[in-house]
Each structure stands twice: as C-alpha cells, then as structure tokens.
Structure 1
C-alpha cells in the first residue's frame, strides 16, 4: 500500500505502483542499502514491533534523507504479518548536522581542516606518519605588520600548500600538519621535503604592495604510536638545532621525558606552597681589600625527601609552566628581608620575562620600599636574554634606579657580546662570564678579552666581577688584570646566611 504523494516525491506513477510488484529497496540509495537491510533483519529477528531508521532514498530530484518509522505486526508464529513504513523528509535536519560537523572540523581563517578533524581521521584510518610545519618567526610578522597581515600570510601559506597538492590541516596558530597513510621510507620522504622547501624558497607572499619570503621548520614522525606528539618533538629539535627539518628518533624516549617534566612541575607547585623555594648566597670578594662586600642570591628547591635541587633542574620547567614569576617574587622577598638588616650589597637575577611581567615588577618595587633595601640591591640581567628589547628593559631600569638600585649585566663575553648594550642601559657592573675565566691563567686570548672588558668598564664608570674563580692562579691573574671583584668557589661557595 502506498499513498498518493509518493508520485510527487519519488517520481513513480501511482497507478503503475499500485498495479505492479515494486521492491521498495530499489529506491534506497545504493550506498545505504546494505546498512538498512542489515538493521531491518536485526530488528525482525528480535521481534521488535517498532523501530526508526535514517537513510537516503532516490527521488526524481536526486537523493533525499528520510526518517523511516516502521511498525511491524507479527502472527501467532511470531513471523512478520504486516509491515508499515512512514517516511519523513529529514533532509534539512541532516544537512544542518553535516554543516555543523563541517564547521566544527574546518579552520575558519584558512578553510583547511583543523586539528580536531585530523585527530578524527587518524582514529578512523590507519596512519603511518605525521609531518608538522611551523612558520619561522611568524610572531615577528605579527609584531611588525599587525595581526590582519599575519592572518593574510596564513591564508596565503594554506593556499600554497594546496597548490603543490598537499592535503594539509591547520592545527593551531602558525602550525600546519599532514598525515601519511601509506608506508614510506625516510630517505624518499626527505627528498620530497627538500623539494617542498625549495619550492617555498622561490615563492613570494604579499603584504600590500610588498612581497616577503617565508621559511618553515618541519618535524616528522614515522611509524610511532603518538605521531602528532612525536612530530612536535622533532619540530622542536629542528628549531633548537637551527635546521629546516628533523625526524623523531625512538631513542628520544618522550614518555620518560614527559613523566619527569610532570613530576618536576608538581614538585615546584608543592615547594612554592610549602615555602621550600629557598635562597643560598655566594660571597663576592673585593680584590683590593680581600673582604666580602657583596653576595649573589641563588635559588634552590627542597624536594619531598629534603634534597636540595639545583636551578638548572627546575627553572626551565618553571618557565614553561608559568611558575617562574612566582619563584622570582619569592626570591626577591627572601633576599630583601635577609639583607634589610645587613650592610653588604646583594644581587638578584632577573629574566626578560620578569622584567616584562607588570605584576612582578610592581611586587619588586613594593618590596624594595618596604624593606628599605633599594640602595644595596643589584639586579643582574643576562646579556643574551632578550636584552635587545630595549624599551621594556630601559623602563624597568629607570624605575628601580630612581629608588637607588643598581644594574649588572650577567655572563658578559658569551657568544657575540654587544658593547652597545652596556652604553644604552647605563649599567653599574659587568659580570665576566665563566667561559672566559676558567682558563684565563693559561689562555692568553681569554686574558686579552678580559683586559679589554676591564678597560672598557673603567672608561664608562662600571665595576667588573669575574665569575667561576676556582683556584689561586685564576684569582691572581684576574687581580693583575685589574678586575674589581671575585666570585667563585675559591673565595666562597653558595650557602645559607644566618
């Protein structure tokens, strides 16, 4: 039995339909037929009296989504006696769901599929490899030209990937990725990567009437269980090594690294809560008088077992987990309170992150005023730690110098040391890096460099401190060269002050 409206919907002549034997399954969309029949067989085998299905049927206007409400009457032998089906046009609802899913799986800026869709594809289909692309120095593009230009570059990069035939996902910010579903040898894939990089180097991206070149770093993972995570690790390794691409190596043991990092982050949290971030103080000796006139404040962490953890083990994790500023504030409070009733100068190391954190700077200034230690504190700034950001560094220096504080440049002499930094920042002290000091008694070139730094410092009215002074020969050589102060195990190791 069929109702008259089927002619309008399906394009079937009603009289012909009623006068002949027609299989309704002939009108079910071929891709859906097997699933529909399998479900019907299952429902009937379980003697279910009513059920609901969703599928497509063939109409004169093309496929149409329907909801099929089926009612079954069974005879005394529990065999189907009568089956009635009621079809409801469900196209609008299904199409809306499909559109919602498309939107949720699509990056709105580039129209590429997004990270969520990539993870879904990895779950639904066997995946052998993952490649992650990161635009080199994209933050500088945003800072120089503005976010709208940065967005335009992202769109152009997405279009470039598509133009060379790659199926790419945008997985966040300035990162893109692609999946490899077939096995491929690294040597062959590496050749493809080189070709892509060469093509990219010949491509110009437009900023208004101007054009710029774009570089990318690439991380690759093949055959692993955590492909995206491992590709991210390879990308990080490529950046650290300053190379264009890197392959994740199983020997990197990422799971163990993550376990250690998570454990250390928890240890830092607990140490901050229980006031187990402590300070040791290393004496700084005046070469002329041989007396201790200053101390450098050095942070330590006490773990659950009571062991003292060195800063190199926990500060990098603290920076990545946004706990670094809390550690800095704790150190400033402890050191200022310790020296509030002492006569010596004391120094504290600050990173560019500290200087650019308004809350940390505000807390530092408040503590200096409260403890009345501003005239005896020295803030040490790493010579290599983003010091080129003059505006924020100069503003901080101005704020604390008004209160009477001094500024030192730490680790001067490492890598490419810029004497212009010193002139622009009006520093009071230059700390000569240990890499120049360790072998100074036997290395004439190091002695010449140190002598140059000493001469330069005198001419601008700054004092010099040599770090890592470990024996008498080094001490005597530095004294002869005219360095003002000595710091190192020869003159005193870091320890708590009573």
Structure 2
C-alpha cells in the first residue's frame, strides 16, 4: 500500500533529476584553488630552501674553524706539558741521586730505570734520548732506532740552546720535544722526550664531541697496501683514531670519492649508517715530508640535518596555513553549494531513526542553480535510498534483531579470548587427563618450537626435565580429574626449544563444559621465572660477599662467626681467629695504581682459598684486611696455620720498580674463649695483636695477651670512648671555621669546618686525640652526623641573612661505610632549603685510595645531590696524578708538606706548579694549605694556585665573620 502511495513522488524525483546539464563540482573550484595553492607553496618552498642552505653553510664554517682552533690549542698544550716534563727530569734525576760525582748520562740512566712506571703511567712518556753537545747519542730509553730527522732537531737545539719540537709519524705518530741541558753551569747537550698523540686524540674527542683520525704517508706504504686502514687513493695510512670502527669505512668511502687536496680546502659531507658526517683536514704542520701527518675531523652533523628537516617541516606548516587560506576562499565560493550539502548531511542521520518520509520532504526542495552537480545527484540518490531502506527495514527488522545482537556478543567474547591468549607473556595450554596438549597459545608454541600446533601431537610431561616432576604431574592430573583439588601450583625445570634450561611456575585448574564428550580438560598456565631466580640469587650473593675477591664481606662474616661461636659454646670447643693485613699494601697501591692493588688482593684471596678448608670461614673485612676462623682448634694449631699462611704469602711476588717485591703480612691471633666471648671482642683483640706483630717488625704473627703494652692502649681507648659518648649525649662538641681565601681577588667566602670536643675540665680536645678512637669504635658516624647537621643549620642561617658562604666539611675515612649518610644529607638539604653547591665535602687522599671504587661511588652520589667534593692532602704520592683523573673531584687541596718550605725549596715549587697545572687542565680548583707568610702567598699567586688557607689567612674561630673582604694585614 505504501509503495503505491509513494510512486508519484518517485516519478517527480526522476523528472527533476533529468533536468539541466551536469557540471562536476570539482571543476568549478579546481582552477581557483590550484592557482592560489601553487603560488603560496612555491613561495614558501623557495624561502625554506634558501634559509636551510644558509644555516647549513654557516654552521659548517663555524664548526670547521672551531675544530682548527681546538686542534692547535691541544697541540700547543701538549707541547708545553711535554716541555715542562723534560725540563723537570734533570732536576728530579739530580734529586734522586745520592752521589754527586756521577756523570749526567749515568744520572739520567738511573732515573729512567727506576722511574719507568711513573714516566709511562703517570706522565705519559713513551720515549727519551740524551745527545751530547757534539750531537752524539749518549743514552736512549724505549726509542729503538732513531731516524736521521731527529739528529737535525738535536743539532738545531744544540746550536741555538732553546727548546724545539716536532711530530714524527710512520706506522705510529708521536710528539717530540728537545730541550737543552745544563750540567754544572755548562751546556751539556740535548734531552729528547716523546709521547704518543693518542692522548691528544682522546682529549679532542671529549672536547669537540667529534671523531678524529691521524693519517700519514708511511715509508713502508708498499707493505701496508691491502690493509683496511690503508687509504689507497690517498696513499695514506690511518695511524690512530678515536673510533676506528667508524673511521675506517668513513675514510675509505671519502678517499674513493674525492682527492685529499680538495679536503684540505673544502669540507666534505657524506652519509654512513644513516648518520651525516662532515669531514675536514687539518695539517699538523707545514712539513710535507713522508713523516708529516694530518688530522681528519669527522663531525656528526646529523642534528644539524635534523634541524634543517625541521625547518622544512616548518615550511610545510606554512604551506598548510596557505592551504587553509585557500580553503577559506573555497568556502566563500562554495557557500551556496555547502548549504545544500549541509541539508543532505542533516537529513541522512534521520535514516537511523527510520524517518524516511521526513528525509524525502527535506531533499525534494528545488534550487535555482542552472547546472546540476554532484550534490544534486547525491540528493536524488538519497531519496532513492530512503525507499529501499524503508522496504528492507520492514522485511528484516523482526528476523535480524536477535541474530545481530547474539553475533556481536559472540564476536566480542571470541576476540577478547584470542587477544588474551596471543598477547599474554605466559604459556597457556589445555590438556586432557592423559597429558596430551589440546591447544596452546603463541608464547607456548614458541617455547616448544612449534608455531602451528596440531591437537594432541605433544605431551605435557615432555616439557619437564626432572623425572620426579613427571611423576608428580601424573598424580596431580588424576586428582584434578576426580575433583579432589580445585587447582595446583608448582615450579619445574623445563627445556625450551632453543636449548636453554628455564624455570616455569605452573598453575593448573580443571575446565568443564569445553568438550562435547564431557571429557575433563585441564587449563595450565606457565610463567617463566628464570630471570627472577637468577637475579635473586645474584642479589643474595652480593649482599654477603666482597665483589672483588668473592670472599665473605664484613657483615656476613660476623653473622657466620656468631654461628660458629654459638656451636663452640654449646659443644665446648675452642675456636681460633686469624686476623691479618698485607704489609706495605698502600705503597704498592700508590706506586703501581689501584688496578695492581686490586689484582694483588685477588691473588691473595685465591691463595687463601687454596690453603683453607671448607669448614673454615674466610672473609675480606675491608681494604687489605682479611680474617680466617678455624673451628675446633687450639692455639698450637692456630700458630701452625699462621706459619703456613706467612710462608704461602711469601711465594707471591709482584714486579715493582724494576724488581720483584715479595708479599708479607702481619697476623694477629685470638682464640675463644680465652681472648673473648663474642665476635666483637675477638675481632678487637685480634686487631690489637695484629698491630703488635706489625710493631715487632712485620711478616710475623702475634697472639693476643692482656699483659702486652696494648692493654694500656685498650684502657686509653675505653677512656676516650667514654668521653666521646658523654660528649655526644651532652652536646659537648663545638665547630670552628678556618677561612679559605680566593687569591685572585683577595675575598673570603669559603670556610673549612673543624670540630673540637669540650672535655669535663673545659679544655678543648683536638680531632687527632679522639677521631682515631671514634673510627675504631664506630662512634665516628654519630660525629659525622653532628658535624653535617650543625654545619647545614649554620649555613642556612647565614644564607637567610643574605651572606653567601660556602662550607667545607671533613669526612672521616669510615664515612664510606656509613649507609645513613646520604639519607640524612638528603633530608637536611630538603628541610633547610640551602643551595647544595654551598657544601663541599673533603676526603683525605689516604681514605679515598683505601677503597677507590667506594670513594668514586660516594663522590658521584654526593655530586648528584648538587654538592661538591674536595680531595685533601693531595700530592703525597705520584699515584695522585692517576686518581686526579679518575676521581670525580671538584677541588684539590695541595698537601701542606709542599707549602711549608715553598719559598726556599725549588723542588717543592716544581711539584706545586706541576700539580696545579695538572689539576687545572682537568677542570679542578686548587687550594694550598699551611700558608703561613706573605712570601708564600705571593709565590702561590705566581704558580697559579686559586685559593690559600693557613694561619696567615686566618686562624680557626667559632664564629664566621659576615664580611668577605681581605683583612688589612694581608697583602697580595
């Protein structure tokens, strides 16, 4: 009936659609839209290109000029340092020689022989030679055969008597400096020293953040041809590089692309591994001989290229803006057509409400446009669609509603389950009661090595490695099938498809209603916990062992020692404690470096494991201190073991300054129950016995006795311990502040914090009297916390009064073992609101080198909070130069032993200048201690020291002056 009624309206719609000519809407706007868009985008693209090219050229020119200046500066600095070392060698060889009658050649030979480690490791020298005034070679060290070109350099220096330098490159590249020598006031020849340019490459790489390579034309280039470091087209060889893996392919491709002369005058850009590089060539000198060398700088300009790409993106954005303008014009042009289109878009949603007649009434409105377009066709089609949808709606509405709803629900459930199964990082499978695997997810398929699994082809028990696990699983399956348990969880070892042993944590649960035959199905979910177990085992081991020697650490040693003592008390057994440290270990550490010290500790630990039994407790307590507990033994057996230990340690030798050094130890012995009833007493008494052995001449053992002189030491220590505890309880500590002056401008805004203890009679005790006892008894941590808390409170009050003061706080060597220090410091910084940069923590060089790795960790953590770090008593040993580079320091305090006699000692002046220059080159600030007079202060100014501290600057005082000007009594 409705179809008959609507037929006249269909006829009217058909009649209307047949009127007028059709002209597509896109042809009405394409000409105007394309013209405007082309003009805007073309202009923006041109501007973007010019801007990018200008930015790129300017950046490259600046980088090239900067690299030239940096290379020249590093070369000049290296030459100056090498020249200073060469000038210091004669004075040092003179000072190291006891006989004044030796010839200069013999003095130099002895010096180089005995100082070989220092020259190579600390000073970086690789070669040296001494020529007489008539150009004859008298002595050479590590040089091999010298080229004739060196003789010309020596002749020039002998003739002019002024230092000169050169760079010699063949298969390797070195820098040489020749300086004239004086012997008894007469010109005595020339000293030639050399070092590799490798350090310069590293310095340039760190400074410029760019790769650098040194190339030259070696004499034996025929033998080098065919090697990957030989650049055939340039006939050059890559001597050294900051990154050979990247430099070799980069330079090979560049050499194949351009001539080397073109690289000298113009930069060259290329792409390697999706990174953009700009290469430039910097000649080391004007020498064009076969032994000259050139620096080739490869700068990663990928960020600049990315910046240019961003500029291009910016141009595109501007183009989009232009497009938007064009769209605005288009909207104005299409205002009327858009109204018609809007009418259609407003009408079509009514179809969802089944308002078919209302849609037809809206779309049959006539429009005055003489040409028909797509909008007219869309309106006619929509009218036809209303008839079709209306008819279909009436036919299928009742039959399809429930079906669609149910289908959607099933699809959602299916997709959800499939997503869980395939994305879960766990093995999910189903199996029957016989263990046949029915289904398995993607993760499980990869574990068993089958991507497209076929039902029932694998058995679940095949995954287990242990026979007992297989038996247990079969029993569990029967209990799950019979409903005796609702779920079961267990861990089992399994072998994955890639051959690795894995630990899987399984959970099994029965499923019902899955199979049509009502056969029980078990759902098994397995989670790989192998990595977690390994991590837990590693953490547990690290918590109880020393990572360097792999022995028990101090904390775990005391736990195990207490267990042994408990058993000894229960069964009335005696137990011996062997406590020892290595003689002259610090000397070995200072002269050979902490790597040699670490290697020695590992060798000693290995030897101890060889001579001890599994029932004996072996531990490293810290530094070079070791302890061995021997259960069920008496003093006689303990002394026999001590003799064996001394004998075994003597067999360990290490090379030191050209000769073998034998290892020895000082051993203290204490037994339970004679010398103590608990671990603390036994450790303390064994420690005293060890020091008694050391005082008796080292390399021997000593049994603790209360009748020794050490008994008086114990008594004195107990007295001081009581005094310290009372002072802590009654707050009888007081802080003094000693000023540190900035030499350049004479201002004082930096003070070192010094602690004093007020005794019962009102006198002040100096730190040297009570700090050693506090460190031995563990009270040093409370003192450290008091100093830290009081200093920050004083600094906070000064800063609130607008006084910019910096405080240096001395840390005890035991602070490395204090786990609460960082927590307390963080809390104090947050609550006080002070600037962490106003806090400088000082640690003595001896304490820092006792455990370098722990010191580095502590310094890094304090610096992460914003505080700064100073190394006190710097310069005692030559190893200081190495640690100066390794430790994350901000300030270096030069030891007072170099300052006391500075005005009269030339040697001290040479050392202070060398130490200052080395510290300054590494970006460290310097402070000179023990400045006692005006002459010393003026000399420090000439030597380049930045700060001064001493009685001439100001004595320690309980108060901090608010003025920061220099006292009138001091002149600089």
How does the TM-score come out when normalised to structure 2? 0.32
Is residue 383–residue 410 contact of structure 1 (8 Å, CA) maintained in 2? yes
CA displacement at 1:116 relative to structure 2? 6.5
Which residue is 2:773 aligned to?
Answer: 317
The structural deviation recorded for 1:115 is 12
Q: CA deviation at 1:344?
A: 1.6
Is the counterpart of residue 495 in structure 1 residue 944 in structure 2?
no
- Secondary structure class of the residue paired with 1:155: coil
Q: Flag the structure with larger Rg.
A: 2
Judge conservation of contact 2:579–2:687 (CA < 8 Å) in 1. Answer: no
Once residues 242 and 416 of structure 1 are traced to their aligned partners in structure 2, the CA distance between those partners, rounded to angstroms, is 27
Q: Tell me whether 1:427 sits opposite 2:870 in the alignment.
A: no
The one-character-per-residue Cα deviations of 1:438-487 (angstroms, maximum 9, x if unpaired) are 11111111111100111112212221100111223322222221211111
Q: Hey, what does 1:346 align to over in structure 2?
A: 807
* Matched residue, 1:369: 830
Matched, 1:308 2:308: no
- 1:115-168 alpha-carbon deviations (Å, 9 max, x no partner): 97459xxxxxxxxxxx9854556xx89x969x999777531797xxxxxxxxxx
Question: CA 1:252/1:388 → structure 2, altered by over 3 Å: closer, same or farther?
Answer: closer
Which runs of 5 or more residues in structure 2 are unaligned?
Answer: 1-562, 583-597, 617-625, 653-661, 677-681, 961-972
Deviations 1:168-216 (Å, cap 9, x if unpaired)? xxxx9415686479xxxxxxx99x998984477469xxxxxxxxx9965
The C-alpha deviation readout for 1:56-110, integer Å capped at 9, x for no partner, is xxxxxxxxxxxxxxxxxxxxxxxxxxxxxxxxxxxxxxxxxxxxxxxxxxx979x
- Report the equivalent of 1:50: none
Deviation at 1:233, TM superposition (A): 3.5
SS in 1 for 2:749: strand
For each residue in 1:281-308, what CA deviation from the matched residue of structure 2 results, as whole angstroms up to 9, or x when unmatched? 1101121222212100111111122211
Q: Which has the larger share of helix?
A: 2
- Quickly say closer, same or farther: Cα 1:114–1:485, change in 2 above 3 A: farther
> Quick one: distance in 2 between partners of 1:360 and 1:412?
24
Contact kept in structure 2, 1:428 and 1:463, CA below 8 Å: yes
1 or 2 for the larger relative contact order (CA 8 Å, sep ≥6)? 1
TM-score (norm 1): 0.58
Of 934, 938, 941 in structure 2, the residue corresponding to residue 476 of structure 1 is: 938
Secondary structure at 1:384 match in 2? helix
Q: Distance in 2 between matches of 1:241 and 1:288?
A: 51
Tell me the equivalent position of 1:383: 845
Q: Flag the 1:294–1:385 CA change in 2: closer, same or farther, 3 A.
A: same
2:243 aligned partner = none
1:217 counterpart = 2:672 = no
1:453 is matched with which residue: 875, 891, 915?
A: 915
Residue 324 of structure 1, CA deviation: 0.8
Partner residue of 1:299?
755
| Structure 1: gaps spanning 5 or more residues | 1-106, 120-130, 159-171, 182-188, 204-212
Separation of aligned partners in 1, 2:701 and 2:731: 41
Q: Distance in 1 between matches of 2:570 and 2:697?
A: 27
Distance 1:448 1:241, change over 3 A: farther
Task: Give the match for residue 714 of structure 2.
Answer: 258
CA distance in 1, matches of 2:607, 2:838: 47
Q: 1:339 to 1:442 in 2, by over 3 A?
A: same
| 8 Å contact kept, 1:465–1:487 | yes
Determine if the alignment matches structure 1 residue 359 to structure 2 residue 817. no
Aligned to 1:465: 927
2-structure distance, mates of 1:220, 1:353: 24
TM-aligned CA distance change 1:115 to 1:201, over 3 Å: farther
Map 1:68-217; keep pairs closer than 5 Å: 117-118=573-574, 133-134=578-579, 136=581, 153-155=611-613, 173-174=627-628, 179=635, 197-198=646-647, 201=650, 217=666
Is residue 238 of structure 1 aligned with residue 693 of structure 2? Answer: yes
CA distance in 1 between counterparts of 2:786 and 2:644 reads: 52
**CA separation of 1:156 and 1:442: change in aligned 2, threshold 3 A:** farther
Aligned length: 347
Q: Secondary structure at the match of 1:306?
A: coil
- TM alignment of 1:331-342, pairs within 5 A: 331-340=787-796, 341=798, 342=803
Question: 1:244, CA displacement in angstroms?
Answer: 0.6
* Whole-angstrom CA distance in 1 between matches of 2:861 and 2:627: 35
Distance 1:238 1:401, change over 3 A: same
